[in-house]
A and B are shown apart, each in its own frame.
Chain A
Amino acid sequence: MIQLILTWLFSIIVFPGFFFTIALALFTQYLIRKWSGRFQKRMGPTYVGPFGVLQPLYDLIKLVHVKEEVIHKYCMPGLAKLFGLIGIAAAISVIVFYPLSPFRVICDFDYFIFIYMVSIWIPLATILMSLSMPGPYTSIGVSRFLTLITLVEPAYFASLIVPMIIISENNKPVYSIYTTSINVINLWINPMTIIPMVLALISSIVVLQAKSLYNPFNIPEAEQEVIAGYETEFSGPVLGIARLLHDIDVTITALSIVYILLGGPYPFSHLSIPGLVILVLKYLAVIYVSTLIKNLFGRYRLEQALYTIFKYALIPSILAAVFSTIYVVAIT
């Protein structure tokens, strides 16, 4: 009993909870900045820490601790920070569903709990955080962000549910992240299920790009139009928390793609060397593809972005879900 509680607290606070997720999020930010720098023939972060790895951490501490907080008379900074911290807590608290964590909770339909924490709390926290520091540019940025999120979240849900439909036919517990990540490797080998999986993967990469608001989807912070969109009135600790929330969102989405669609370390086990290497390689591949797309594209107008998400994320994922349902009906 005591051992259970200790493992639980360790999983939430150290690995893969609070410290590990924040470290991974900051490292992901470093990778994206360094690779983007290399694409653009610049150095990227170089001076702080070996190869500049500690740059995001120093940026976070600078924003939260060193910089002065600047507010105006209509701001509610305490509320903004509270919402930001709620968003970060919501994102990290579902990490116990993954096979990565030593303390795991596995049940039927835990995928929906994951979706509701990550897809509803994180955008809501971002929106409420930026509405607490109001202004004309902020409001326009928030409305653009909200319009984008309305189309992106169903696509995210649909693209990750594709392997679960097929796997839940024969494996218990059904619609669970753990079961799916153990068995999804079989779907990539079977030639009849490759088409829905490829459609789901394409859709999820577009969703990752849209959720993380990187080019071509960096519309809410379109600098020429709305100054900095929903981040206009952020400064000091609120900006630090907002950027941390954004990075954690990217990390959790990428981790979910790696585990649910790509299979995580399987076919090798978690604690073996080939398993860890494959896991790290898959994660780096997903982040690399995202950085590549970020540097290749300019910025879309909002209706172009909505059409792109509709055509390349929502329709393929719904088609993939329909194909996998047909496959399941045909098999039984």
Chain B
Amino acid sequence: MINEIRLDNPIQAVFYIVINFAILLVVLGAFYILLKPGSRRKTSIYLSGEGEEVISFKSITPSTLNLYWFFIKRFAKKIYEHLVNTIHTGNLMDWVEFMVSWYGLLIIASILTTIIYMFMYKG
């Protein structure tokens, strides 16, 4: 009773997965509607037991700058210092340094190729 479907293209397999997804959503939705609770109660946001007046900032949810604090300030601190202070300074002269290095690399590549061809097939 084993039914195997062998396809050659993963894009065809995505079709089956999407149909599975849809069937499961319907089944899960049906179970949720059967089992849903009767009542709903409104309270205030949990702020360790205080009311909303404790928050002196403009909004209860924190600013977006606080979001990845551990990653930016501890784990990847050196990478970010380098990225912000050395590479993305906003100063046109620093940018031009990087861009001209890439330009120089390309020119060196082409000159090197010519010289190598000259020496490989000498005579």
Residues of chain A within 8 A (CB-CB) of B37 are 64-69, 236-237
- A68's closest neighbor in chain B, by CB? B39
- Size category of the binding interface on chain A: 35 or more
- Known A-B contacts A69-B37, A89-B28, A139-B61; the reply to A107 vs B43 at CB < 8 A is no
Return the contact of A106 from the options B4, B44, B55, B69 (Cβ within 8 A). Answer: B4
Report yes or no: B7 in contact with A89, Cβ–Cβ below 8 A: no
Against A, the Cβ 8 Å flags (1 = close, 0 = not) of B54-68 are 010000111000111
Return the contact of A107 from the options B2, B6, B20, B23 (Cβ within 8 A). Answer: B6
Report yes or no: A85 in contact with B25, Cβ–Cβ below 8 A: yes
Against B, the Cβ 8 Å flags (1 = close, 0 = not) of A294-310 are 00000001110011000
Smallest distance from the beta carbon of A268 to chain B beta carbons, Å?
Answer: 16
Report yes or no: A72 in contact with B44, Cβ–Cβ below 8 A: yes
Report yes or no: A136 in contact with B61, Cβ–Cβ below 8 A: yes
Q: Could you say which of B8-16, B78-86, B91-99, B105-113 contacts chain A?
A: B8-16
Residues of chain B within 8 A (CB-CB) of A61 are 35
Q: Could you say which of A140-148, A153-161, A183-191 contacts chain B?
A: A140-148
Q: A180 vs B28: C-alpha distance in the bound complex, in angstroms?
A: 31
Report yes or no: A85 in contact with B28, Cβ–Cβ below 8 A: yes
Smallest distance from the beta carbon of A190 to chain B beta carbons, Å?
Answer: 27
Q: A301 vs B38: C-alpha distance in the bound complex, in angstroms?
A: 40
Residues of chain A within 8 A (CB-CB) of B25 are 85-86, 89
Q: A199 vs B79: C-alpha distance in the bound complex, in angstroms?
A: 27
- Known A-B contacts A107-B9, A136-B61, A303-B75; the reply to A7 vs B3 at CB < 8 A is yes
Report yes or no: B2 in contact with A81, Cβ–Cβ below 8 A: no
Q: Judge if A45 is at the interface, Cβ distance under 8 Å.
A: no
Report yes or no: B40 in contact with A3, Cβ–Cβ below 8 A: no
Residues of chain A within 8 A (CB-CB) of B28 are 18, 85, 88-89
Q: A109 vs B40: C-alpha distance in the bound complex, in angstroms?
A: 46
Residues of chain A within 8 A (CB-CB) of B87 are none
Report yes or no: B74 in contact with A303, Cβ–Cβ below 8 A: yes
Report yes or no: B42 in contact with A73, Cβ–Cβ below 8 A: yes
Smallest distance from the beta carbon of A84 to chain B beta carbons, Å?
Answer: 9
SS class of chain A's interface: helix, strand, loop or mixed?
Answer: helix
Smallest distance from the beta carbon of A50 to chain B beta carbons, Å?
Answer: 24
In chain A, positions 1-42 with a C-beta closer than 8 Å to chain B are 3-4, 7-9, 12-13, 17-18
Report yes or no: A96 in contact with B4, Cβ–Cβ below 8 A: no
Return the contact of B17 from the options A3, A93, A307 (Cβ within 8 A). Answer: A93
Against B, the Cβ 8 Å flags (1 = close, 0 = not) of A122-150 are 00000000000011111110011011001
Q: Judge if B122 is at the interface, Cβ distance under 8 Å.
A: no
Smallest distance from the beta carbon of B49 to chain A beta carbons, Å?
Answer: 11
Residues of chain B within 8 A (CB-CB) of A146 are 68
Report yes or no: B32 in contact with A85, Cβ–Cβ below 8 A: yes
Report yes or no: A104 in contact with B5, Cβ–Cβ below 8 A: yes
Report yes or no: B4 in contact with A104, Cβ–Cβ below 8 A: yes
Q: A88 vs B23: C-alpha distance in the bound complex, in angstroms?
A: 12
Return the contact of B45 from the options A69, A135, A140, A307 (Cβ within 8 A). Answer: A135
Q: Could you say which of A110-118, A281-289, A324-332 contacts chain B?
A: A110-118
Q: A67 vs B35: C-alpha distance in the bound complex, in angstroms?
A: 11
Report yes or no: B17 in contact with A117, Cβ–Cβ below 8 A: yes
Q: A18 vs B5: C-alpha distance in the bound complex, in angstroms?
A: 20
- A3's closest neighbor in chain B, by CB? B3
- Known A-B contacts A105-B7, A237-B32; the reply to A140 vs B62 at CB < 8 A is yes
Smallest distance from the beta carbon of A145 to chain B beta carbons, Å?
Answer: 11
A-B contact pairs, 10 of them (CB 8 A): A9-B23, A71-B43, A73-B44, A74-B45, A106-B4, A106-B5, A113-B13, A135-B47, A146-B68, A236-B37
Known: A107-B6, A143-B68, A173-B6. 9 other contacts (CB 8 A): A18-B24, A18-B28, A68-B39, A74-B45, A85-B25, A93-B20, A106-B4, A110-B10, A139-B67
Residues of A within 8 A of B (CB): 3-4, 7-9, 12-13, 17-18, 61, 64-74, 77, 81, 85-86, 88-90, 92-94, 96, 102-110, 112-113, 117, 134-140, 143-144, 146-147, 150, 173, 227, 232-233, 236-237, 241, 301-303, 306-307
